[in-house]
Amino acid sequence: MNPTQECSHSQQRALNTIATAALGLSALVVVLGAYTRLVDAGLGCPDWPGCYGYLTIPQSESEIAQSELAFPDAPVEPAKAWTEMVHRYFASLLGLLILALPILAWRTGTRMVLPCVLAVLVVVQGAMGALTVTLKLWPQVVTAHLLGGFATLALLFHYTLTLRPEIRWRVPAGVSFAIHVTLAALLLQVALGGWVSSNYAALACPDFPLCHGVFIPDMDFRNGFNLFQGIGPNYLGGEMSSEARIAIQISHRVGALVVLGLSLWVSWMLTGAARWTVAGIVTIQFLLGIGNVLLDLPLALAVMHNAGAAALLLALIAGRASAPEQLP
């Protein structure tokens, strides 16, 4: 191997390594984002990109006193502040890795479309992260930020599969249509899940499969899916009525049934490890959703439910990328 080939091979290895590292870090950031929301730490730092004006968090008594004087409506809670800042640190590191991808793709002569799309997306995600704080958890932005995180993870996984085709599954012909339909349904369900979370509707129905003891409770879909909630209020804890939150929760349950049915349809069409991976993930995910309701939203189960949605998304993308018509 001559020096030019050695250099090219080294740069290709670097691209593969950074893409894989970014994929793993993206999965971690998605989970950290879910944890941050679930422990109500989204406003643990009321400003951005710092925390009460500090690079980390205020720690001494004088720093805390100055911070609470500057932000009288946001008393310092160190545990929540650290949770928020750790999420930001990892998200920033992810951003740096993703911004390196177009450069490495250019230097290796590989296609630059996905790396460039990812670079734009991660910049938008950074802006969404800032707006999540400055707009005080405005549900529209929180949901968009969650979807952006899932999109980043999905595109990084797809890009990794294009760089390393040897890790793709082998799936039968004719499954692409079913996978695309299921992916579309799953993305809508993830958006619904984000809307449930950002409007604090996870426990709007304390029982399952009923809701407050009835199959069809009082619901307010108009306000439950009002995409024009005003900017200004602090949305920590949510602002919607019980009926509006119930409408969101019931919609999410219906979506879960649709995704369960479609995913099992896809798994039936697959073979081997692919079949059992998709079927196993969607079944566990469905049971986690039920468990969250019946057990009053325990933190571990709620985080696992978010991670399960990401895992199902990646499994379906793996199937899509591995379908015969997708192979090079």
Q: Assess contact for 52 and 70: CB atoms under 8 A.
A: yes
Tokens, residue 238 = 């949510």
* Three-class secondary structure of residue 59 per DSSP: coil
HSE on the CB side for 37, CA within 13 Å? Answer: 30
Tokens, residue 237 = 């804890």
Tokens, residue 197 = 């979370």
Give one word for 212, left, alpha or beta, with left for phi > 0 and alpha for psi -120 to 50. Answer: left
Distance CA 255, CA 196 (A): 12
Name every residue whose Cβ is closer than 8 Å to that of residue 294 and which is 6 or more positions away in sequence.
207, 208
Catalytic site residue from 61, 68, 77, 84: 84
Q: Could you give phi then psi for residue 51, rounded to 5 degrees?
A: -130, 105
Distance CA 83, CA 33 (A): 9
To the query of whether residue 6 is one of the catalytic residues in this protein, the response is no
Cα dist from 253 to 37, 72, 244, 293, whole Å:
20, 39, 15, 11
HSE on the CB side for 219, CA within 13 Å? Answer: 19
Q: Could you give phi then psi for residue 300, rounded to 5 degrees?
A: -60, -45
Tokens, residue 76 = 């310092």
Compute the Cα dihedral for 121, 127, 129, 131 and give only its sign. negative
Instruction: Identify whether 209 is preceded by a cis peptide bond (ω within 30 of 0).
Output: yes
Cα dist from 36 to 31, 176, 226, whole Å:
9, 35, 24
Question: Hey, which residues are catalytic here?
Answer: 84
